[in-house]
């Protein structure tokens, strides 16, 4: 009897802890490792100060916001994308908002499809800064089309850009980091890099490929413990990725990006990414509910995840056909298109 009574406080404490964790999870928008990094880990302004960070896809969206928050942490930046004028705009904003100087930010136009130029671009950074401490692979395009309607060329374009282009840049930077014994290679993947989603068959395939590549690369670098391979998996985030998405034809633009207000803000997403990078988190799950729940369900109870995928997937297709943003209004009836 005494032993049973002695166990009661322990069971009560365990129950309270479990309840607190559940409450934290319900209101959370990041996995528990990333939550720890944000609340109690090394701050970005300490860990990233003075580091040379190369950002691809830096002209808009998550890449642009990464530039601003890294500049605020006093990291030195290399800004890459195809649109040089937009990169110059981002650079000017960084200079105006922070104490960085002109020499601290290099604008380096880059086409991920032009793989023959990637070594030259890498050498240009090493010539300017002498080092590359971090590569953030953020460049790429999304997709909004049903498989049955989509040209094979769209799938080829997605794999060439999102996967092969990213691998090419990584291969140029990795030998430098191995020689120095230190560095971070971070890649912005997606929730669809972990689970499939309708309207994104090609995009999801390219992100699954990135997951497989970087998970395997991480195991190859066990003799280089100073190099961190980090994959970032956001759920729906406000950005221009929808406007720039592939449709069923390579030359057809998205007709409408739809309402983006239901998505996580770009600023919040990047704030969490910064916490993860500062603490070398290997994989980051970022998403408002129910998307964060979906990460855990898919990871630990895949049978239930398939059921959830069917429900959410059906709604996503309904939204798309009704002319809404694919990720909006999951729990309300979509209105039909109006002419």
Q: What is the mean pLDDT of each run of 10 residues along the chain (339 residues)?
A: 61 72 77 96 98 97 97 98 97 97 98 98 98 97 93 97 98 98 97 90 97 98 97 91 86 74 91 98 95 90 88 82 68 47
Cis ω for the linkage preceding 280 (within 30 of 0)? no
CA distances from 10 to 22, 256, 275 (A): 18, 56, 34
Asked if 233 and 191 count as a contact pair (C-beta separation under 8 A), the reply is: yes
Neighbours of 335 (CB within 10 A): 10
- What is the pLDDT, as a whole number, of residue 329? 55
Q: What domains appear along the chain, each with residue ranges and CATH number?
A: 29-296 (3.40.50.720)
The whole-model pTM stands at 0.91
Distance CA 239, CA 25 (A): 25
Helix, strand, or coil (residue 187) = strand
Asked if 327 and 262 count as a contact pair (C-beta separation under 8 A), the reply is: yes
- What is the pLDDT, as a whole number, of residue 315? 83
Ordered strands of the 76-80 beta sheet: 105-107, 76-80, 52-56, 134-137, 183-188, 227-234, 283-286
- What is the pLDDT, as a whole number, of residue 327? 65
Distance CA 43, CA 46 (A): 5
Distance CA 321, CA 193 (A): 24
Distance CA 297, CA 2 (A): 40
Asked if 51 and 76 count as a contact pair (C-beta separation under 8 A), the reply is: yes
Asked if 241 and 196 count as a contact pair (C-beta separation under 8 A), the reply is: no
Q: What is the C-alpha end-to-end distance of the chain, expressed in Å? A: 75
276 is written with which tokens?
A: 């993860």
Tell me whether residue 203 is one of the annotated catalytic residues. yes
Q: Between vectors from CA 161 to CA 108 and to CA 271, what angle results, nearest 5°?
A: 65
User: Dihedral of CA 81/82/84/89: which sign?
Assistant: negative
Alpha helices by DSSP H, 28-117: 32-40, 44-47, 61-72, 84-97
Q: Which of 214, 312, 230 is nearest to 276 (CA)?
A: 230
With tokens 């429900």, the residue in question is 311
157 is written with which tokens?
A: 């374009």
74: alpha, beta or left? (left if phi > 0; alpha if psi -120 to 50): left
Distance CA 324, CA 276 (A): 32
- What is the pLDDT, as a whole number, of residue 330? 55
Q: Which of 68, 203, 296, 330 is catalytic?
A: 203
Burial string for 140-166 (b: 16+ CB within 10 Å, else e) reads bbbbbbeeeebbeebbebbbebbbebb
* Beta strand ranges found along 170-280 (DSSP E): 183-188, 227-234
Distance CA 135, CA 219 (A): 18
- What is the pLDDT, as a whole number, of residue 128? 98
Distance CA 106, CA 95 (A): 12
């Amino acid at each position: 009897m005494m032993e049973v009574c002695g166990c009661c406080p322990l069971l009560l404490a365990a129950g309270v802890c479990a309840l607190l964790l559940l409450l934290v999870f319900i209101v959370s928008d990041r996995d528990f490792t990333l939550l720890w990094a944000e609340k109690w880990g090394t701050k970005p302004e300490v860990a990233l100060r003075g580091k040379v960070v190369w950002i691809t896809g830096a002209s808009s969206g998550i890449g642009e916001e990464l530039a601003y928050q890294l500049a605020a942490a006093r990291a030195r930046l290399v800004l890459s994308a195809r649109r040089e004028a937009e990169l110059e705009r981002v650079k000017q904003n960084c200079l105006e908002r922070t104490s960085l100087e002109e020499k601290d930010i290099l604008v380096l136009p880059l086409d991920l499809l032009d793989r023959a130029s990637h070594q030259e671009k890498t050498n240009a950074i090493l010539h300017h800064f002498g080092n590359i401490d971090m590569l953030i692979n953020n460049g790429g395009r999304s997709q909004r089309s049903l498989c049955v309607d989509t040209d094979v060329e769209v799938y080829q374009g997605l794999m060439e850009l999102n996967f092969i282009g990213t691998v090419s840049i990584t291969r140029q930077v990795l030998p430098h980091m191995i020689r120095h014994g230190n560095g971070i290679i971070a890649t912005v993947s997606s929730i669809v890099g972990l689970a499939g989603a309708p309207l994104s068959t090609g995009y999801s395939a390219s992100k699954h490929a990135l997951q497989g590549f970087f998970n395997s690369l991480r195991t190859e670098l066990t003799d280089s413990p100073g190099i961190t391979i980090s994959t970032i998996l956001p759920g729906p985030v406000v950005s221009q990725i929808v406007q720039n998405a592939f449709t069923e034809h390579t030359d057809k633009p998205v007709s409408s990006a739809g309402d983006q207000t239901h998505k996580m803000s770009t600023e919040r997403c990047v704030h969490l990414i910064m916490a993860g990078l500062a603490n070398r988190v290997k994989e980051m799950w970022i998403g408002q509910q129910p998307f964060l729940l979906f990460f855990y369900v898919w990871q630990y109870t895949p049978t239930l995840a398939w059921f959830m995928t069917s429900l959410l997937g059906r709604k996503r297709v309904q939204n798309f056909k009704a002319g809404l943003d694919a990720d909006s209004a999951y729990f309300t009836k979509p209105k039909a298109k109006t002419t």
